[in-house]
Amino acid sequence: MNILIKDCYILTDNRDQVDRGDIAIEGSHLLQVGASGQAPAGWQPDRVLDGSDHLCLPGLINCHTHAAMTLLRGYADDLPLMEWLEKKIWPVEDKFTGEDVYWATLLAIIEMVKSGTTTFNDQYIFMEEVARAVAETGIRAVLARGMKGVGPSVERGLEESRSLIEQWQGGAGGRITVWLGPHAPYTCPPAYMERVLQLAAEYRVGIHIHVAETAGEVEQIKNKYGKTPVKYLQDLGAFRFPVLAAHCVHLTEDDIALLAEGKAAVAHNPESNMKLASGAAPVVAMRRAGITVGLGTDGAASNNNLDMFEEMRSAALLHKLVNQDALALPAYEALMMATREGARALGLDQEVGVLKPGYKADLILIDLNQAHLCPRHKLVAHMVYSARGSDVDTVIIDGRPVMEKRRLLTVDEEMVRHEVERRAGQLTALLL
């Protein structure tokens, strides 16, 4: 389908500059972005969308989440990370079925699409069901089966990761990318990590792993191996592969240098880190060292929503505060972390993350006719400091509209909410 979006505001690559013009979509790709009337001679749209009073942005990219944890939203709040995980989250996750994960992932995708996310990076269990939800709803995703090198699921995690790669790499018309998901250094001993890295070499895939999320984790790794979690990964050779390190809250200067040298990317999750009292990641220092830093929400059990507009705002404000510098993370840079830098962190920067001819048509339209977005002094600043996920009017992914005028086109929200409520009740009953 060919789509023409007429007379919208368009985010450019020129920092805070916003232009007016048209966007032409041919099939799954952007054909023309900019001044009106510049589409190739003879090109005709099948549909024309009125973009007046709307800002067009690249779709937002959630670099770290556990989508199906929507099923646990509000289940175990106001606890520190390890108590939250070991006493609350892991016990109930052990009772999840594949169908639980499928329906909870659908709920997460609904929430993400309605708040402007077009790509998410997920690490969880029953990932074939996550892939099924992605394929059905039209969103883009990088998927990794979470793996632990301790406990009863050691072999199953490796086997299911291999199966996921073979079945779903490039699936859903190219919208699915599969990586490996070793949970964290403290749950993945060296011998196990070596097996994970062998699998990464065999299939030439990236690695999505939690790193240095808490001070206790760092101390545990130091006591066990005599090094930091980052040094632990570097000595194992993990940085031979694309690595997306989630959190990276407690880093030394040497850690930052090793991440930069290894060309690892980082997923910064400010709201989850604040809620679990994990700390504030040294984002300014990492970015200064040349590390690509994207933004993530983490799961809905520790945030408790998947709204990337909130994440941008929290990131910008948090780092102004901790650095005592109003310029520490300007609005434009926070917006880039949620779009272009997120795409780079996931190895998708030649496909998505910017509005440029030849790139995939993953974009969102923001309805500017809102009291909190008036007057329109600086629209980029408004997106970070004022906008809400509910301001997203239209979402197009891979050239296909998946939401128009706030109406979802690929999934029945009411049915999904009803099913998730039913399943949440069943799980709660099992734990009584």
Query: For the chain, which residues make up each domain, given as ranges?
Result: 2-58+361-408, 60-345
Across 233-376, where does the E strand assignment appear? Answer: 243-247, 265-268, 293-295, 363-367
The pair of structure tokens assigned to 32 is 């023309």
pLDDT at residue 432 is higher than 60: no
pLDDT tops 80 at residue 428 = no
Residue 400's contacts (CB-CB under 8 Å, 6 or more residues apart) are: 1, 28, 138
> Tokens for 381?
């600043």
> What is the per-residue pLDDT for 351?
98
Residue 145: its pLDDT value, please? 98
Are the C-beta atoms of residues 310 and 334 closer than 8 Å to each other?
Answer: no
Average pLDDT estimate for 403-426 = 97
Please tell me whether residue 384 adopts helix, strand or coil conformation.
helix
Q: Rounded distance, CA 58 to CA 339, Å? A: 6
- What's the CA gap between 403 and 410, in Å, rounded? 8
What is the chain's length? Answer: 432
For domain 60-345, give the CATH superfamily: Metal-dependent hydrolases (3.20.20.140)
Range 338-345 average pLDDT = 98
Q: How far is CA 275 from CA 80, 147, 266, 297, 304, in A?
A: 8, 25, 19, 11, 9
Contact by Cβ (8 Å): 180, 200: yes
Strand partners, 24: 4, 32
User: Poorest-confidence range of 2-6, 84-88, 112-116, 244-248?
Assistant: 84-88
Give the mean model confidence (pLDDT) for residues 174-200: 98
pLDDT band at 431 (very low <50, low <70, confident <90, very high): low
Cβ(30)–Cβ(357) below 8 Å: yes
- pLDDT band at residue 87, thresholds of 50, 70 and 90? confident
d(CA 327, CA 349): 26
Q: Which residues contact 32 (CB under 8 A, 6 or more apart)?
A: 22, 23, 24, 38, 39, 40, 357
Q: What gap in Å lies between CA 393 and CA 366, rounded to an integer?
A: 6
d(Cα 354, Cα 261) in Å, to the nearest integer? 26
The reported pLDDT for the residue numbered 37 is 84
User: Pick the residue with more confidence: 132 or 151?
Assistant: 132
Identify whether the C-beta of residue 61 lies closer than 8 Å to the C-beta of residue 359.
Answer: no
Range in 32-36, 233-237, 248-252, 347-351 the model is least confident about: 32-36
For residue 180, give the H/E element and its range: strand 176-182
Q: Identify the bridge partners of residue 408 per DSSP, sorted by sequence position.
A: 403
Q: What pLDDT band is residue 82 in, cutting at 50, 70 and 90?
A: confident
* 305 pLDDT more than 90: yes
Average of pLDDT values for 392-398?
A: 98
**Which residue reads 């190739």 in tokens?**
40
Averaged pLDDT, 293-306: 96
pLDDT at 366 over 70: yes
State the average pLDDT over residues 411-427.
Answer: 96
Amino acid sitting at position 124: Y
> 381: how many CB neighbours lie within 10 A of its CB?
17
What are the C-alpha distances in Å from 269 to residues 146, 192, 348?
A: 18, 27, 20
Q: How many CB atoms lie within 10 A of CB 85?
A: 18
Cα–chain-centroid distance for residue 308? Answer: 9
Mean pLDDT of the 221-227 span: 98
pLDDT at 279 over 60: yes
Question: Is the confidence at residue 370, as pLDDT, over 80?
Answer: yes
Is the pTM higher than 0.95? The answer reads: yes
**For 2-58+361-408, CATH number?**
2.30.40.10
Cα–Cα separations (whole angstroms), residue 129 to 90, 109, 133, 154? 19, 13, 6, 20
Q: Which residues, listed in sequence order, are joined to residue 265 by a DSSP beta bridge? A: 244
Q: What are phi and psi of 425, to 5 degrees?
A: -65, -40
